């Protein structure tokens, strides 16, 4: 197990509120380097709000506020002045694939470009490498100039993964990535994620309990803004959970 | 009786539906009638006065003969200067209002002010222009003063249409872009603006039409009754199509009947040409982005 890997993210007493209405209350957990950390829980349990703090997108949401502390490789996120640099280290994949309205090539070249890379050969190289790692290269290598939104849903989601990888992140946040993707593509993406684990840390928010079981090393169960339980994923499915609510959710009795 | 047979209610609804369709269709067609009549009259009565000389020569014989070149040239100048003044300001203001401004009382007051500015009658703008540009800023009656007056008048059109087209760009694009570490300006420049460009151009097209056609705001600020030579700089007065039309139609005796119609036809044609150029540019941009 990876249980002795160094800590990547340490979350202490995190509380998130929108207009003073609490979305997450007092969460404590640690996410370790090179693990897939699963977060499961019903809709409205605060999973997406939690992700938003990890790359400080809360700074772009007017009514969002938070207390507590989150440290990233030992640095408190609140003291991180250059949010742009932070966000470049954190790749995000949204529930519905958000292909930027530009070509396949430009979607993946976007992040290198905003980092200031101008050399065409270097960008070509990044585009090919990221699309290959996202298991999309073979399908699109002949039409890189086609509009990203012309791809199928599953291809678009792999495109957004390639785009996230083009940031050369060390943390990848996936927010219910398979919601609009067919089962076969979902499996391909899951294989990609398992490979990526050796290079970066992955936080996987999912509605699919079985997906979490397949991928996550450790899992947290969120319910109504509370983190009910954190532990090795295997424990969640072998009945050694401590909380009855976790057992009910995992076994499909509610949610 | 089959379960799919029409009941009395079905038949009544079908009849109503047919009548509504006819009535709305008739109203739509009635919209076209004035356009056809106006254009038909202009072409029918104005065509005799059209010629290449009409476009390229100065008016002669106390404006009862000759061409309209100084007015044509003047209107083009006024429109260009007005666009140069209002488009940068309008687009920048719209970007600020849509992308940067916090949603507070101050922003709402500004938005309200813009809408009210759009409702101010053009004659009031004209008097404002005299006070602000001709007298206070001492531009005199000049192209500059006339163009700035028109720019102020058409700013709300540019701001509102730009803001609407920015707002129409899905928030998800902005979020995806920002979460990649792009700055707000990188997001706006690379993702938001390219997707809003056709809406922005639509606003500018509307502005061009209004700028070329308005008479009152330029009458006291820069357009001359008769000026048989071309302006040398933006500080000069100029003739303009809209005012020239007013003059030959109402102020000058013994004008041949076809002359005012010819001027009107050229004015309308000019606006159509400017619009076509903008539309062509829009189509080109859209094709380039395949969006």
Chain A nearest C-alpha distance from B172 (Å): 7
pLDDT score at A2: 46
The pTM for the full model equals: 0.81
pLDDT score at B291: 43
Chain A nearest C-alpha distance from B281 (Å): 19
Q: Which three-class secondary structure state does DSSP give residue B240?
A: coil
Instruction: Please say if the pLDDT value at position B206 is more than 90.
Output: no
* Residue B182 forms contact with A (CB below 8 Å): yes
Domain range A7-250, CATH class: alpha beta
- Give DSSP secondary structure letters for B198-235: HHHHHHHHHHHHHHHH--HHHHTTTB-S--SS--SSTT
Over residues A144-161, the pLDDT tens digits come to 998 888 888 889 999 999
What's CA B4's distance to the chain center, in Å?
54
Nearest to A114 among B176, B182, B291 (CB): B182
Q: How confident is residue B289, by pLDDT bands cut at 50, 70 and 90?
A: low
pLDDT score at A105: 94
Q: Which of A88-92, A173-177, A232-236, B5-9 has the lowest mean pLDDT?
A: B5-9
Domain assignments of chain B as residue spans, ordered by start: 8-49, 52-289
Q: Taking residues A90-95, what's their average pLDDT? A: 91
Could you count the other beta carbons within 10 Å of the beta carbon of residue B10? 11
Q: Which of A4-13, A72-81, B81-90 reaches the highest mean pLDDT?
A: B81-90
Q: Is A182 left (phi over 0), alpha (psi -120 to 50) or beta?
A: beta
Over residues A51-80, the pLDDT tens digits come to 999 999 988 888 899 999 999 998 899 888
Q: Taking residues A130-139, what's their average pLDDT? A: 92
Chain A residues in contact with B183 by the CB 8 A cut-off are: 84, 114
C-alpha A236/C-alpha A111 separation (Å) is 37
C-alpha B291/C-alpha B209 separation (Å) is 26
C-alpha A7/C-alpha A100 separation (Å) is 33
Beta pairing partners, A30: A10
Chain B residues in contact with A98 by the CB 8 A cut-off are: 172-173, 175-176
Task: Answer whether A84 sits within 8 Å of B102, measured CB to CB.
Answer: no
Angle B56-B149-B85 from CA coordinates, rounded to 5° = 80
Tokens 């499915």: give the residue.
Answer: A237
Over residues B235-252, the pLDDT tens digits come to 888 999 999 999 988 888
Nearest to B195 among A87, A101, A115 (CB): A101
Residues for chain B: how many in total? 291
pLDDT score at A50: 94
Q: How confident is residue B288, by pLDDT bands cut at 50, 70 and 90?
A: low
* Residue A64 forms contact with B (CB below 8 Å): no
Nearest to B177 among A88, A90, A100 (CB): A100
Which residues between 92 and 111 in chain A have a beta carbon less than 8 angstroms from any beta carbon of chain B? 92, 94, 96, 98, 100-103, 110-111
- Arch. (CATH architecture) of B52-289: Orthogonal Bundle (1.10)
C-alpha B30/C-alpha A45 separation (Å) is 57
Q: Taking residues A188-200, what's their average pLDDT? A: 92
């Amino acid at each position: 197990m990876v249980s002795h890997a160094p800590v990547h993210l340490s979350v202490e007493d995190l509380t998130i509120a929108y207009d003073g209405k609490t979305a997450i209350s007092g969460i404590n957990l640690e996410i370790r380097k090179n693990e897939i950390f699963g977060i499961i829980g019903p809709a409205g349990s605060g999973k997406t709000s939690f992700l938003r703090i990890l790359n400080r997108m809360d700074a772009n949401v007017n009514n969002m506020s938070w207390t507590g502390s989150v440290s990233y490789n030992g640095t408190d996120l609140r003291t991180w002045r250059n949010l742009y640099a932070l966000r470049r280290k954190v790749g995000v994949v949204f529930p519905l694939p958000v292909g930027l309205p530009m070509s396949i090539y430009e979607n993946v070249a976007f992040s290198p470009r905003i980092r200031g890379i101008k050399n065409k050969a270097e960008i070509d190289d990044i585009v090919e490498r990221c699309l290959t790692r996202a298991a999309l290269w073979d399908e699109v290598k002949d039409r890189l100039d086609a509009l990203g939104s012309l791809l199928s849903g599953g291809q678009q989601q792999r495109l957004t993964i390639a785009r996230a990888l083009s940031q050369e992140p060390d943390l990848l946040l996936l927010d219910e990535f398979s919601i609009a993707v067919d089962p076969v593509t979902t499996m391909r993406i899951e294989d990609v994620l398992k490979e990526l684990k050796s290079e970066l840390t992955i936080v996987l928010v999912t509605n699919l309990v079985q997906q979490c079981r397949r991928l996550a090393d450790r899992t947290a169960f969120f319910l109504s803004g509370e983190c009910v339980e954190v532990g090795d994923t295997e424990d969640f499915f072998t009945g050694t959970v401590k909380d009855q609510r976790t057992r009910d959710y995992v076994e499909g009795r509610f949610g | 009786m089959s379960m799919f047979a029409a009941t009395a209610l079905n038949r009544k609804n079908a009849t109503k539906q047919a009548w509504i369709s006819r009535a709305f269709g008739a109203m739509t067609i009635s919209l076209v009638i004035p356009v056809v009549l106006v254009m038909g009259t202009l072409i029918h009565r104005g065509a005799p006065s059209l010629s290449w000389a009409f476009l390229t020569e100065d008016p002669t014989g106390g404006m009862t003969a000759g061409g309209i070149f100084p007015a044509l040239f003047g209107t083009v100048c006024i429109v260009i200067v007005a666009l140069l003044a209002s488009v940068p300001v309008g687009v920048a203001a719209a970007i600020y209002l849509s992308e940067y401004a916090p949603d507070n009382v101050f922003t709402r007051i500004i938005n309200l002010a813009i809408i009210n500015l759009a409702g101010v009658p053009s004659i009031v703008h004209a008097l404002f222009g005299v006070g602000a540009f001709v007298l206070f800023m001492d531009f005199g009656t000049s192209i500059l003063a006339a163009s700035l007056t028109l720019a102020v008048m058409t700013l709300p059109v540019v701001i509102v249409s730009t803001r609407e087209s920015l707002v129409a760009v899905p928030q998800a694009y902005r979020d995806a872009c920002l979460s990649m570490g792009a700055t707000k300006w990188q997001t706006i420049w690379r993702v938001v603006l390219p997707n809003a460009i056709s809406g922005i151009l639509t606003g500018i097209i509307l502005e061009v039409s209004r700028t070329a056609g308005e008479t009152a705001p330029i009458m006291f600020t820069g357009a001359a009754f008769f000026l048989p030579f071309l302006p040398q700089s933006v500080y000069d007065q100029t003739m303009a199509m809209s005012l020239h039309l007013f003059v030959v139609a109402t102020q000058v005796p013994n004008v041949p009947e076809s002359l005012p119609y010819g001027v009107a036809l050229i004015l309308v044609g000019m606006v159509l040409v400017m619009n076509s150029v903008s539309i062509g540019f829009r189509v080109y941009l859209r094709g380039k982005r395949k969006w």
